[in-house]
């Protein structure tokens, strides 16, 4: 690959003569081929102006054509073969099998949203017929979802494909009929450029309007803030740190016209292990937690960073066996040096904390992240809220409870989370029900007798949660419901039939399933 340093603006490219940066090989710290340019204000404005100019055309486009575009993106990503995967591996240190699986997920997301677009159910068409004889007369009202307009998407460091240039945010926004401007992640700019090429090839192949998709690069915070604060930006998709997500949320709130920021930020994903499950499934729990904690060097947003259990003999046995298991797992290379430095600092701080007990021996692993495991009495945990903060990396904290009431108190103390897990046998179900009632208020997804890493992409998935896990607990960044983030409802009252969107016209020319006078109406072909 020979990166050009270009920004993708519609179908054009441009180069900034200064402010360039290079990509770094995450495995050895050496520069990788290619120079990437810091986006200028003029380039950001051009990308969003192009997006604004094509927004209505894209919104009103035949849905089949838009679906074909999403399918074509997946096809072009697949056609890139190992070139894309090898560049992503060099920039992120993620292994090729993981990246191959992630590319498959990315293509499946695109094709899944293509199916959603063709189906049309996301439009939620509703028709209430007029009744002129009623007093007062009842009007004819018809309602459906419409695309918001240009969406800015920020690439994620830990998912260079599935949550980045052509990931779930981009796929769902394009499916909704919104133009997209992506900010490539500065730590994998070459990967970002390769994926952007696939999107642009698909756009040309499907004759999409200029501005349907653009990408800019940049390391500076100013580039991101300029994208969020641009007057044509209508919504933002972000996956990353609490600090970064909060900065974008605050920037969006101070605009003359505030806009929604759908940011997925941080989560410790607590796992509650109840007595009977602990006593009867210690070995499988040890293996499961070790795998889940260390998956992707602990850099999954659903990493189980908190385990809550009773302070008894089976739990002590789990701590010993889990500590031994983690000690035997090879230290891994993290996504980039800043993440490793933060993780190492957090581990050092916890090792010197007198309230905590370490269960994994200290290892000298320069340049790599070694797994860590700590425990703390529940009383201390409840008195020190900072212990519930996310520690991004292959580490977990076990909270030891003296009573079931203390475990329930830990559940009540939680901030918003992406997931929570409950490991319970049938004899544990009374406490499991109490925990479910409490924990459900704090999470987006409840997991039972399993581990939270791994997020199935499907219509029923909820990948979100109350703040600080995300900025909007009503949304999901995974699954078909993600499309709703980039839509808004519009109603037409007493509109002449030929002035209505085609999806709401009397003869239902699009063959949609619609709610007519409170009853679902299925066209003959459905």
- Hey, which residues are catalytic here? 264, 301
**DSSP SS3 for 242:** helix
Closest CA to 36 of 2, 4, 9: 4
Q: Answer yes or no: are the C-beta atoms of 20 and 36 closer than 8 Å.
A: yes
Hunting for tokens 């998407």 — which residue is that?
153
Estimate to the nearest angstrom the gap between the alpha carbon of 447 and the chain centroid.
18
72-104 burial, b for 16+ CB within 10 Å, e for fewer? Answer: bbbbbbeebeeebbebbbbbbbbeeeebbebbe
**Could you write out the three-class secondary structure of 456-518?**
CCCCCCCCCCCCCCECCCCCCCCCHHHHHHHEEEEEEECCCHHHCCHHHCCCCCCCCCEEECC
**Nearest-angstrom CA–CA distance, 516 and 475:** 27
Q: Answer yes or no: are the C-beta atoms of 175 and 208 closer than 8 Å.
A: no
Q: Answer yes or no: are the C-beta atoms of 407 and 272 closer than 8 Å.
A: yes
List beta partners, residue 272: 308, 422
- Other CB atoms closer than 10 Å to residue 430's CB: what's the count? 11
Query: Checking DSSP bridges between strand 443-448 and strand 417-423, what pairing results, if any?
Result: parallel
**Nearest-angstrom CA–CA distance, 246 and 243:** 5
């Amino acid at each position: 690959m020979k990166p050009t340093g270009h920004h993708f603006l519609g179908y054009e490219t441009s180069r900034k003569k200064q402010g360039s940066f290079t990509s770094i090989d995450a495995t050895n710290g050496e520069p990788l081929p290619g120079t990437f340019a810091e986006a200028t204000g003029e380039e950001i404005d051009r990308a969003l102006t192009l997006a604004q100019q094509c927004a209505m055309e894209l919104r009103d486009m035949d849905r089949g054509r838009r679906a074909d575009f999403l399918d074509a993106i997946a096809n072009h990503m697949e056609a890139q073969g190992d070139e894309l995967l090898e560049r992503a591996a060099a920039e992120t240190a993620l292994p090729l099998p993981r990246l191959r699986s992630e590319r498959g997920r990315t293509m499946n997301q695109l094709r899944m949203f293509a199916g959603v677009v063709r189906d049309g159910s996301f439009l939620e068409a509703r028709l209430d017929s007029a009744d002129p004889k009623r007093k007062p007369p009842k009007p004819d009202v018809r309602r459906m979802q419409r695309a918001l307009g240009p969406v800015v998407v920020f690439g994620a460091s830990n998912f260079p494909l599935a949550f980045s240039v052509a990931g779930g945010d981009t796929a769902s926004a394009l499916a909704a009929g919104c133009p997209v401007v992506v900010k490539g992640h500065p730590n994998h700019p070459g990967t970002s450029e390769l994926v952007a090429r696939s999107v642009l090839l698909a756009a040309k192949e499907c004759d999409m309007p200029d501005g349907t998709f653009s990408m800019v690069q940049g390391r500076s915070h100013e580039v991101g803030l300029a994208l969020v604060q641009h007057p044509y930006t209508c919504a933002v998709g972000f996956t990353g740190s609490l600090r970064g997500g909060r900065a974008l949320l605050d920037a969006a709130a101070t605009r003359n016209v505030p806009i929604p920021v759908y940011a997925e930020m941080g989560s410790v994903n607590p796992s509650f292990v109840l007595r009977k499950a602990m006593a009867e499934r210690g070995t499988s729990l040890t293996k499961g937690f070790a795998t889940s904690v260390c998956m992707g060097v602990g850099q999954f947003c659903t990493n189980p960073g908190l385990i809550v259990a009773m302070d008894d003999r089976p739990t002590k046995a789990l701590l010993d066996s889990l500590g031994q298991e983690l000690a035997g797992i090879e230290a891994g290379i993290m996504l980039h040096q800043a993440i490793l430095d933060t993780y190492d600092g957090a581990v050092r701080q916890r090792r010197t904390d007198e309230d905590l007990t370490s269960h994994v021996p200290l290892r000298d692993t320069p340049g790599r992240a070694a797994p860590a495991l700590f425990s703390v009495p529940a009383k201390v945990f409840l008195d020190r809220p900072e212990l519930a903060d996310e520690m991004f990396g292959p580490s977990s904290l076990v909270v030891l409870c003296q009573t079931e009431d203390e475990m329930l108190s830990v559940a009540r103390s939680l901030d918003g989370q992406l997931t929570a897990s409950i490991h319970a046998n049938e004899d544990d179900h009374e406490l499991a029900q109490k925990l479910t009632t409490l924990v459900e208020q704090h999470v987006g997804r409840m997991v039972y007798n399993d581990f939270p890493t791994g997020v199935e992409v499907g219509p029923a998935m909820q990948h979100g949660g109350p703040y600080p896990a995300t900025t909007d607990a009503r949304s999901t960044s995974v699954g078909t419901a993600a499309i709703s983030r980039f839509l808004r409802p519009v109603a037409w009252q007493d509109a002449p039939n030929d002035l209505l969107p085609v999806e709401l016209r009397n003869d239902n020319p699009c063959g949609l399933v619609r709610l007519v006078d409170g009853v679902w109406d299925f066209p003959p072909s459905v």
